[in-house]
Amino acid sequence: MLIVVTVAVLILDLARPAWTEPVRAVTQTAFTPLQETVRGWGQDDLDRARAERDRLAVEVERLRSRQDATVAADEVSPAGAPGLEAVGARVIAAAPQTSPVGRRVVTIDAGRADGVRSDRTVLNTDGLVGRVMRADESSAQVLVLGDPQVVVGVRFGRRAGDSALGAVSATPPAAVPRRGAAELTLTAAGDTPIFVGDTVTTLGSPGDSPYTAGIEVGTVTAVDPDNGQLSGTAVVRPAVDTDTLDTVVVLIASEAP
């Protein structure tokens, strides 16, 4: 019966639209506010759901990043440096070597609120990354190894007991061959010969600022010929690829018990 009535109404509407116009107008007037209300409520609800989904996705990514940084901090134990704690952080921005400022700087998501201060050692599980240049409340800028103004006092040699003193920098003396983009220069402090395969580690600074002792800097890959320079020099391959940094660790002073 309902099907017959429906078909009859449709035929009547097609054959005599003027007869069904009053009914159509009354129905539209009665149901339009309800349709608008339902439609509006559904769209707002959908928008809220999408906004909440996006917020949760960002929060999950933030927590995952923090977890990765915490794991990195646990792996890099400052046991050899009493009075230090490890704060994990993630690289969130970087200024390339070709930037107008000419500095090799990365930004990390840990700052003063986490205990990070300027001139603190930054490293990862591979070795030395650089030092904190400036710390804000929730972030910090790190001057990475390879910046033209970074010079690190180091020890080099095959064994720790036989190590000699020197310095590592990104700018080689004029008399030595040109370096590659990712290569550093070791300059010996005395007459101790440098050999390919020598391990280069940080010498350390008073108060562990800016560099803690014993952190791997890199490995000697080539020794420069003697062209009249005052000290022996060599090419060092950094232990850390600063172009692909992800999680890092900042060594900060422990709070007094």
> What confidence tens digit (pLDDT) does each residue in 7-18 have?
666 665 666 666
> Are 101 and 208 within one domain?
yes
Residue 167 placed within a domain: yes
Which range of residues forms the domain containing residue 88? Answer: 76-257
pLDDT band with cut points at 50, 70 and 90 for residue 164: very high
pTM for this entry: 0.68
**What amino acid occupies position 24?**
R
> Are 28 and 146 within one domain?
no
pLDDT over 50 at 218, yes or no: yes
- Among the listed residues 201, 186, 197, the one whose alpha carbon sits nearest the alpha carbon of residue 123: 201
CB atoms within 10 A of CB 234: 25
> Are 92 and 136 within one domain?
yes
Q: Dihedral, CA atoms, 33, 36, 38, 44, nearest 10 degrees?
A: -140
pLDDT given at position 35: 56
pLDDT given at position 163: 83
pLDDT over 50 at 2, yes or no: yes
Residue 17 placed within a domain: yes
Residues 226, 243: contact at Cβ < 8 Å? no
pLDDT given at position 257: 44
Residue 106 placed within a domain: yes
CA distance 126 to 201: 12
Residues 186, 163: contact at Cβ < 8 Å? no
> Are 109 and 28 within one domain?
no
> Are 138 and 30 within one domain?
no
**More confident of the two residues 68 and 95:** 95
pLDDT given at position 53: 77
Least confident piece of the model among 89-98, 135-144, 145-154, 183-192: 89-98
The values of phi and psi at residue 15, to 5°, are: -80, -40
Which SS3 state, helix, strand or coil, does residue 135 take?
A: strand
> Tens of pLDDT along 66-91?
555 555 555 565 545 567 888 999 99
CA distance 152 to 167: 5
CATH code where residue 100 lies? 2.40.10.340
Indicate the number of domains in the chain. Answer: 2
> Are 44 and 156 within one domain?
no
Residue 71 placed within a domain: no
pLDDT given at position 100: 47
Structure tokens belonging to residue 239: 């232990």
Look-up: residue for tokens 């280069």?
A: 200
Structure tokens belonging to residue 245: 């940094």
Residue 20 placed within a domain: yes
What is the chain's mean pLDDT, rounded? 79
pLDDT over 50 at 104, yes or no: yes
CA distance 207 to 218: 23
> Are 85 and 36 within one domain?
no
pLDDT over 80 at 221, yes or no: yes
